[in-house]
Chain A
Amino acid sequence: MEIFNSESKKIISDPLSINNPISLQVLGICSALAVTIRLDQAIIMTIAVIFVLCSSNVILSALRNFIPNRVRIVVMLSIIASLVTVVDQVLQAYLYDMSKQLSVFVGLIITNCIIMGRAEAFALKHGPSKAFLDGLGNGLGYGMIIIIVSFFRELFGAGTITLPNGGAGYELFSIPEAWYAAGYENIGLLVLSPGAFFILGLVIWTQRELFGIEEGE
């Protein structure tokens, strides 16, 4: 089967634009609020979610003809939970500080609605290669939004931009001291959870305006 035909492209590009899991389906909000305080946390979280989403989609799609319909949720959960455990252990082994900062939210990938939702809605109905593309697309769609949100939250809330580099991260940019001396202040609200809601709301607004999506369509 051809990987890069128009249908495959659509599977990947839809979650990034007109069918974004966070901003249009409003799934996975919990982690979008929790891990977006710093950019490096959001990037690591994105990679973790993409890995879990792609793997679970492929595995479930390959097993889809053998899973009895009535116990499919149990099977899905056990596969996703095993994958999340793997991610958690890898993070603890190689990025211990980051794993401390992300704390329970790596474990909570199990309950992230996007992963269960894609497994139920897509992976159980399509072949493994398409399921892989769907997982990749939705993972990137999720990552795109939380990276945008965390970029603004970190820049205006804490005054820095941090890229992932071990536990402490690599500080790419920080607002110069001279600004603070001249009276600039960080917006403390953005570090709190309501700040994430506001930024997320503005992102959803912008995205719906860009793609001309009205409520109820």
Chain B
Amino acid sequence: MNFLKKILTKSGKFFEEGKPLSWAFPIWEATDTIFFSTEKQTDSGPHIRDNMDIKRTMFFVVIALIPCYLFGAYNIGYLHSAATGVSSSVVSDFILGMSYVTPILITTFVAGAICELSFAVIRKHEVNEGFLVTCALIPLTMPPDIPLWQLFIGTCFGIIIGKEIFGGVGTNVFNPALTARAFMYFAFPTKISGDKVWAVGPDGYSGATALSIPANPVEYDTATNLFSQATQFDFSTSNLFWGLIPGSIGETNKLLILLGAIFLIYCGIASWRIMVSSVLGLVMTAGLFNLLADHSTNAMLTITPLQHILIGSFLFGTVFMASEPVTSTHTNKGRWIYGFMIGALTVIIRSVNPAYPEGVMLAILIMNMFAPLIDYYIVKSNINMRLSRNA
């Protein structure tokens, strides 16, 4: 470590004010603080004595995402061999999956780094590690066969329009990773709209996803029956949980997402209130729709709350996107409202509008927009309450 420290300290001299490389100071600074804590000290209060600066926080989120990557890669290989009918070992499945995941990951990080570094150099701010999390999240929300140039454009859009134009990490209104995904969802609907299977198979290989089966039923039946009739994939409740189903790379295995959630809550990074209340919102809305299902021919209404939690990317979105500290609400009461509305809106968008089979992305973006308003009224009502108490 001493060796590394020496190199970094020595090379740092070239990036000081007035030296030829001073324009690249943010890049050097970012490299330096990855390995060592900063020597900068706050000179005015309040002080928090803790090693958890933004950089460590962001790294913890990335750590929580790694299992999803590994399983996502295995799942791509598994579905491929299921589609071709050739049986293969776990290792060869995983290697095949990695050959799809790695280019996606590299493209995202290259695009993210170009945008982030150029803004850091031009706007003269430090490189914000937020882009690491954004770039780690984007591939997990993508289908494995996404064209890389579309991914590149989408990532640049997410980083620039979703984050940098609002002033960088900490001042953005919308989750940058979801902004990127929403852009690609509307810009390139043929690849990512969600009504076709996202699995790597032989040419022309296609099928219905768990969400589009009840959205486009041949004849009206309950969702549970429709799932059990599906022969192409195993949509039983247990397999929906274990995640050997087609979907975005990171969303399928619910156990790993739950482990990630526990890890993030234990480290104090993500808010458990948001996660719990969004599940609550989803369960209550789905339950209400179940009651109404008898009066409608829309099979989406018959999906049980448990199935709603397990199909699609609801859990992934709730754990890693909705609870993100910047774009969610900051008051505890606000977090309950915010999460509840995300759960409720997810079910409403999924069930009522068959044009959008998956609603989590749009639900979170809509609530991102309302988060400051919720906080404003919570704070205001608290002020009023205290005023009237002391009047």
**What residues of chain A have their CB less than 8 Å away from a CB belonging to chain B?**
183, 185, 187-190, 192, 194, 198, 205
Q: Would B187 and A187 count as touching, CB distance under 8 A?
A: yes
Q: Which residue of B lies closest to A198 (CB)?
A: B161
Contacts of A205 in B (CB 8 A): 165
Is the CB of B188 closer than 8 A to any CB of chain A? yes
Please state if B165 and A189 are interface contacts (CB–CB under 8 Å): no
Q: Hey, which chain A residues are within 8 Å of B190, CB to CB?
A: 185
B147 touches A183 (CB 8 A): yes
- Separation of A205 and B119 alpha carbons in the complex (Å): 14
Q: Mind listing 22 A-B residue pairs with CB under 8 Å?
A: A183-B147, A183-B149, A185-B147, A185-B150, A185-B188, A185-B190, A185-B191, A187-B153, A187-B187, A187-B188, A188-B186, A188-B187, A188-B188, A188-B189, A189-B183, A189-B186, A189-B187, A190-B187, A192-B186, A194-B186, A198-B161, A205-B165
Near A by CB (< 8 A), chain B positions 158-193 give 161, 165, 183, 186-191
**6 interchain residue pairs of minimum CB distance:** A189-B187, A189-B186, A187-B187, A185-B188, A183-B147, A188-B187
Chain A nearest CB from B131 CB (Å) reads 20
The A interface, classified by DSSP as helix, strand, loop or mixed, is: helix
**Shortest beta-carbon distance from A158 to chain B in Å:** 13
Complexed CA–CA distance, A194 and B183 (Å): 10
Number of A-B contacts (CB under 8 A): 22
Among A188, A192, A194, A205, chain B packs the most CB atoms within 10 A around the CB of A188
A194 to B186, CA, bound (A): 10
Q: Closest chain A residue to B186 by CB distance?
A: A189
Query: Contacts of B183 on A, CB cut-off 8 Å?
Result: 189
A residues within 8 A CB of B147?
183, 185
Interface centre among A185, A194, A205 (most CB of B within 10 A): A185
Cβ distance A43 to chain B, nearest Cβ, rounded Å = 26
Highest count of chain A CB atoms <10 Å: which of B147, B187, B191: B187
The distance in angstroms between the C-alpha atoms of A189 and B183, with both chains bound, is: 8
Given A183-B147, A183-B149, A188-B189: 15 more A-B contacts, CB < 8 Å: A185-B147, A185-B150, A185-B188, A185-B190, A187-B187, A188-B186, A188-B187, A188-B188, A189-B183, A189-B186, A189-B187, A190-B187, A194-B186, A198-B161, A205-B165
CB-CB under 8 A from B150, the residues of chain A are: 185
Q: How far is the CA of A185 from the CA of B187 in the complex (A)?
A: 9
- CB-CB under 8 A from A194, the residues of chain B are 186
Chain A residue at minimal CB-CB distance from B191: A185
How close is A150's CB to chain B, nearest CB, in angstroms? Answer: 18
> In the complex, which of the residues B149, B153, B186 has the most CB atoms of chain A within 10 Å of its own CB atom?
B186
Write the nearest CB–CB distance from B77 to chain A, whole angstroms: 23
Residues of A with C-beta under 8 A to B161? 198
Docked complex Cα distance between A183 and B161 (Å) = 25
In the complex formed, the residue of B with least CB distance to A194 is: B186
| B153 to A, closest residue via Cβ | A187
Name A192's closest neighbour in chain B (CB-CB): B186
Q: Measured between C-beta atoms, what is the minimum distance from A201 to chain B in Å?
A: 8
Cα distance, A207 to B105, chains bound together (Å): 34
Give residues 115-163 of B contacting A (CB, 8 Å).
147, 149-150, 153, 161
Give bound CA distance, A133 to B187, whole Å.
41
Residues in A whose Cβ lies below 8 Å from that of B191: 185
In the assembled complex, the CB of B151 is this many whole angstroms from the nearest CB of chain A, namely 12
- Residues of chain B within 8 A (CB-CB) of A187 are 153, 187-188
**A117 to B150 alpha-carbon distance, docked (Å):** 42
CA distance A189 to B149 in the complex (A): 16
Task: Give the chain B neighbours of A198 by CB distance below 8 A.
Answer: 161
Report Cα–Cα, A188/B183, bound state, in Å. 10
Residues of A contacting B189 with CB < 8 Å? Answer: 188
Cα A85 to Cα B186 with chains together (Å): 38
Which residue in chain A gives the minimum CB-CB distance to B184? A189
Q: Which residue on chain B has the smallest CB distance to residue A157?
A: B187
Residues of chain B with a CB closer than 8 A to A192's CB: 186
